[in-house]
Amino acid sequence: MSILHNLKKIDLKLLAEELGETVPENAKIIEIKELIENSDLFKKDKEFVRGVVKSIVEDRTTKEFNNQSALEIEKIKLAQLEKEIELQRLKNQSLPGERTSAPLSVENLINSIKTLTIPVPEKPEALHLFFTSSEKAFATKGVPNGLQAEILINLLGDKANNVLTHATEEELSDYEKLKEIFLAEFQPTPRECLSNFKNAQRLPNESHMQFASRLTATFEYYCQVREIKKDFKRLCDLIVADKLYETFDFKTKEYIGVREGKTWFSPTELGRECYLFFSSRGKSLREINNSKLCNRSNEPQVINQAPEASKGESFRRNKNQNIKLERICFVCGAKGEYFHFAKNCPRRFEKNKNEREVSNHFVASGISTKPKSIPRNKLEFIDILVDGKKIKFLKDSGSELIIINKKLFPSKTTAGNIQVKSCFGNEILCQTANFSFACHEHCKPVEIDAVISDQLKMEGIFPPDCLKLFEQNELADVQDEQINSFSLEIQNILPFFSAVLDNESLDLTHIFDISLRDQVQHLVKGYEPAKEPKGTDLRLNVVLRDEIPVSQRSRRMPFAEQKIVDKQIDEWLEKGIIKPSCSYYASPILLTKKRDGTHRLCVDFRQLNKKVVKDSFPMAQVEEVLDHLGDGKVFSTLDLKNGFFHVPVEEKCTKYLAFTCHAGLYEFLRTSFGLSTSPSVFLRFIYNVFRDLIRDNTILIFMDDFIIPARDEIQGLEKLKRVLRVASEYGLEINFKKCQFLKRKIEFLGYVIEEGTIRPSPSKTTAVQNFPQPKNVKQMQSFLGLTGYFRKFVPGYSKIAKPLSDMLRNGAEFEFGPMQKQAFDRLKELLCQSPVLPIFQQGKPIELHTDASSHGFGAVLLQRSDDGELHPIHYMSKKTSPQQEKLSSYELEVLAIVEALKKFRSYLLGTNIKIVTDCDAFQKTMQKRDLTPKIARWALLLEEFEYQVVHRSGQQMRHVDALSRNAVCMVTRSQSEITRNIATAQEADEHIRLLKTLVEKGLRDDYIMKENVLFLQGGGRELIVVPEAMELEIIRGVHNKGHFAAQKTEDLLKRDFYISNVKKKIEQVIMNCIECILCNRKRGKGEGLLNSIPKDKIPLSTYHVDFIGPLPSTNKRYQHIFTVVDAFTK
């Protein structure tokens, strides 16, 4: 009986119909209950019945709520109409001289404006009505511009809380800016506006004229959001683009939504974005047009036709039929604790129509043996050398990837992760790694990226198309073996292999314009160094501190390496790079292995380098080169073949470059690797060659890395032509195998550059992630050197690394304790999150935000971008010295500004900058005539900058404050990001801080502390105590797992978290959930229009009664105001 308790008659009727029972038309409640209780399904599966009851009650509650909220916009319009009538009445009654009478007080003015303004609407679509009425009220009352923003904040009430927190002082005093901020926060997205317009339906009591008016207003508001202003062409483009958007699947819509941002794509732009998206996923045009295209597989698909069941039969069961207790959502597949009915699934409207067409079919599974009538082809295998190990690969023409069993290479370093899908549809997360492939021992190896997986039941799978990468030599014997194979198709990645390419097979798949691609190929194939190149008159001149010869004996080498050395020497002799020598100088050689498995012959010039006078040519800094890439969108990189060999050696200096080996003594006629002065001489040569192109930023150079930035592909191609023309004139040999052309995302100098942003390269972050725990000072120096290269991406780097860097001080003991482990893990975590910073752009406004503490200095350099927002482009964090720790807080704040100006001097000189600090005394100190010697020295350093100082409170400078405080204290040992956030928020919650104090003193046994996080013990569980500031965030995260009803959300929440008065807060979150609102569409009869109550012509005949509250309690504990108005007086 408890299941049917408190159900209404309409609920009982619906339940009986769902159970397959027929309810008489005039049946009473007790009769319906008896009918339900006597049904077979009720007796056998009460859990199922309980779920149906819960769904029915939720549907009814939702309908009642929708019925109450649907009239809100009409109420707002009615309120606006009443206010306009009131305004007109006041205008008619006012005299011309009233405007010049004594001004009202601010309080009376606010009350007067409230009277003339409609309430703030709950529906964001109606916000423009509120602002229209308020602006009319401002005009009627003659409110000065200086008071309009203050009155607006008063009218907004609680809705202005976020605006008050984040808006600047300038914005809080400007009505238009305040209105713009508020609309940006609450107004619906353009897609929601369009959805509201398309899904609008005429209300039962609404005339067609009224419905047409409402539709017109809704569409005009959508055009206003899209910024369409009487432009017929743009309107046509918008309509076509929206229609095109409707045809996309969910993943494509999600991708386009991210790419659009605040703007919208025209139809042609939308088509191009789709082409890029589908190409990146490896989809062909046939696959895009036919969503029912089956995966390639040799296995047959056995398809049976399932009989259709009528609506009534779907709930009837045979007496002997087993009952399936586990239920599943037929839309998204949710089951278990996340189960919900298909009609309540938030993803049911995303389901593809093609899937519905085959909903009455199923594929047979569980077949363990194949019928004899099905033919079986013999499988072909091939033996290939992988990193020197012979692997037996299955030749699979259906595979797009080379796949290797991970058990064969258990210690192989991985390059990243990749999601692959088998022909049966199951997705597998695998890893990628770089291997050296060769057909046999005498074949030249080729480097290829391959997938490694421990789920493979054979040694490997090899696509036959990849055989073209090898030279046409003898292949291994092909063997036959019967092994079940499967094909894999890759998702969301570019082409399936990355091999070393030659001129005939350039990797230009990212260039979608065929004409551009052909021009690049023509440039590369047509490139040829000039036979009589221009000269630069530059030669390597080696200057030694003394003339005492440096002579070392040759090192013994294995016979296999001697053959490699002989081959290299013969090649150099033939090209005129070396010659036999009779010098008194001799340096030994050594062989190093390249990435592709080949060897490089190097000379050990370490003893000679101690005597060489270094060349004074300046070396470019990495930051300086990267800062010039801010305006670039398309990039090309070039790699010189044996770059140092382009510079000849002075004839008198060749004797110094002599080297000895088992084959004799030789000396270099061209600049050699390993000599300390070679890089500077090579840079001098390159700058002489590309002098004009470097001056106009056509090409940027760092050592032997060349990059060509451009605004688009057309400009990039023109710049590439100029660079190659100059390189050809000077006889430069280019290694096109390592070049990249016209790419929008490129890896350069350890960074990934894309769309004006920069982030660490994945290979570098992988090295950080895999770095082992340091066991000595040398390893600690290596780790700090690796992470320090990317310190600009880590706010508060020096504070986080302080426990590690302190161990490098003189006399400090190496003790890797909990604090060091904490800092070590925190640095790895921050760098492995792929932080992104915009690249500096000249001419745009700059702000410098600084802060200081006794632990260190912090600063953030921000630049205002095209979107009008300030974005950080560089972080600075510096640890204070023992002497600086003793300075006063005021001196530390000034010193922080000085250190930041020194750090960012190259960005700030010649630019008007705004220095923002929480030190109010700084600006006044700079205006004094008499300063202390220390402050005076610092003031002189500021004279070369053009700056203005702005003071902000510490509450508004938290982003910088975190850089100057001891950041190690904010690191917790918990790996869960949400737990870290809760721990930080608990520290800011006064009530929880008090509880923590009581727990530490042993006064509360029902609470415990774990890793600085407060837990509540109860019911055999430990629940995290959620601080008030994070309650809605936690509730929203649990609810969004499946957009459950209030009770189910509460049940899931109480498994891990404790929140006081949680039921009301859950209801608040669900009422404001956009997806739930959109999914729970209105059903049944709509609401009618409001009608005014007729009034008599005598007083005290009709009353309007209402109450206001609850309000803050008075001394007598009153919380409500009871209001009675005589209708005759209105």
Q: What is the mean pLDDT of the chain?
A: 74
What mean pLDDT comes out for the span 1117-1123? 87
Burial class for 323, CB neighbours closer than 10 Å (0-12, 13-18, 19+): exposed
Phi and psi torsions of 670, nearest 5°: -120, 155
Q: How confident is the model over 590-637, as pLDDT tens digits?
A: 888 776 677 888 888 888 888 888 887 877 777 777 777 777 888 999
What is the model's pLDDT at position 371?
43
- Write down the pLDDT at residue 972: 29
Query: d(Cα 840, Cα 578) in Å, to the nearest integer?
Result: 45
Work out the average pLDDT over 443-452: 80
Percent of the chain with pLDDT over 70: 71
Rounded CA separation 516/710 (Å): 15
Q: Where does the pLDDT of residue 578 fall: very low under 50, low under 70, confident under 90, or very high at 90 and above?
A: very high
Candidates 665, 455, 657, 434; CA nearest to 544 is: 657
C-alpha–C-alpha distance, residues 428 and 28, integer Å: 57
What letter does residue 1009 receive in the DSSP assignment? E
| CATH architecture observed for domain 840-969 | 2-Layer Sandwich (3.30)
Find the length of the chain. Answer: 1130
SS3 content of the chain, % helix, strand, coil (to 5): 45, 15, 40
84-88, 146-150, 289-293, 1016-1020: segment of lowest average pLDDT: 289-293
In the CATH scheme, what is the code of domain 760-838? 3.30.70.270
Q: How far is CA 300 from CA 297, 303, 355, 424, in A?
A: 8, 9, 20, 11
Q: How is the chain split into domains, by residue range? A: 2-65, 116-186, 190-280, 381-472, 527-749, 760-838, 840-969, 975-1079
- The distance from CA 90 to its chain's CA centroid, rounded to whole angstroms, is 54
Residue 859 has, within 13 A of its CA and on its CB side, a CA count of: 26
Cβ-in-10-Å burial (0-12, 13-18, 19+) of 672 comes to buried
Rounded CA gap, 78 and 212, in Å?
17
**Up-side HSE of residue 678: CA atoms within 13 Å toward CB?**
23
Q: Encode pLDDT of 164-180 as tens digits.
A: 666 777 777 788 877 77
**Sequence-distant (≥ 6) Cβ neighbours of residue 233 within 8 angstroms:** none
Give the closest residue to 41 by CA, choosing from 365, 245, 314, 386: 314
- CB crowding 275-312: b at 16 or more within 10 Å, else e: eebbebbbeeeeebeeeeeebeeeeeeeeeeeeeeeee
Task: Give me the pLDDT at residue 36, please.
Answer: 81
Q: Of 829, 772, 767, 769, nearest to 797 (Cα)?
A: 829
> CA angle, 217 as apex, 215 and 223 as ends, to 5°?
105
Helix 977-988 / helix 990-1000 crossing angle, nearest 10 deg: 90
Residue 342 CB neighbour total at 10 angstroms: 14
Kindly give, in sequence order, each residue whose CB lies less than 8 Å from that of residue 1003, ignoring residues fewer than 6 positions away: none
Render pLDDT for 55-114 as a digit per residue (tens, 0 to 9).
888 777 777 766 665 566 666 666 666 666 665 665 565 444 444 444 455 677 777 777
In a 13 Å sphere around the CA of 571, the CA atoms on its Cβ side amount to 8
What's residue 659's pLDDT?
92
Task: Please determine, for residue 348, whether its predicted confidence score (pLDDT) is greater than 60.
Answer: no
Q: What is the CATH number of domain 975-1079?
A: 1.10.340.70
Least confident of 312-321, 520-529, 738-747: 312-321
- Higher-pLDDT residue of 720, 531: 720
DSSP E strands in 401-527: the ranges are 403-405, 416-422, 427-438, 446-453, 460-462, 488-490
Rounded to 5 degrees, what angle do the CA atoms 383, 388, 391 make?
A: 30
Highest mean pLDDT among 433-442, 718-727, 768-777, 876-885: 718-727
Report the distance separating Cα 467 and Cα 465, nearest Å. 5
- pLDDT-based confidence at residue 346 (cuts at 50, 70, 90): low
pLDDT at 361: 34
**Coil, helix or strand at residue 1085:** coil
**Res 792: pLDDT:** 65
CA distance 4 to 15: 10
Strands 634-639 and 705-710 turn out to be antiparallel
Single-letter amino acid, residue 933:
P
Average pLDDT rounded to a whole number, residues 328-337: 62
Q: What is the pLDDT of residues 669-702, one digit of tens each?
A: 998 888 888 888 888 888 888 888 888 888 888 7
The CATH fold assigned to 381-472 is Cathepsin D, subunit A; domain 1 (2.40.70)
What CATH homologous superfamily does 527-749 map to?
A: HIV Type 1 Reverse Transcriptase, subunit A, domain 1 (3.10.10.10)
897-940 pLDDT tens trace: 888 888 777 677 667 788 888 776 676 666 666 666 777 777 76
Cα–Cα distance between 795 and 967 in angstroms, integer?
9
Give the integer Cα–Cα distance in Å for 414 and 77: 63
Angle at 1045 between CA 1043 and CA 1048, to 5 degrees: 100
CA separation for the pair 242, 266 (Å, rounded): 9
Measured CA to CA, the distance from residue 40 to residue 317 in angstroms comes to 8
Q: Are 18 and 52 in contact (CB under 8 A)?
A: yes
d(C-alpha 659, C-alpha 392), whole Å? 44
Q: How confident is the model at residue 501 (pLDDT cuts 50, 70, 90)?
A: very low
What tens digit of pLDDT does each residue of 269-307 get?
Answer: 777 777 677 666 555 444 444 444 434 433 334 333 434
Question: Would strands 389-395 and 460-462 be described as parallel, antiparallel, or unpaired?
Answer: parallel
pLDDT in tens, 948-1003: 788 776 555 555 554 554 333 222 233 346 777 788 888 888 888 888 888 888 88
Residue 907 and residue 894 in contact, taking contact as beta carbons nearer than 8 Å: no
Please give the pLDDT value at position 101.
Answer: 41
pLDDT at 242: 78
Q: What is the pLDDT of residue 307?
A: 42
Whole-angstrom CA distances from 468 to 464, 501, 510 are: 8, 12, 21
Q: Residue written as tokens 């150079």?
A: 701
Mean pLDDT of 375-389: 78
Amino acid letter at 636? S
Whether the predicted pLDDT of 442 surpasses 80: no
Q: Are 435 and 401 in contact (CB under 8 A)?
A: no
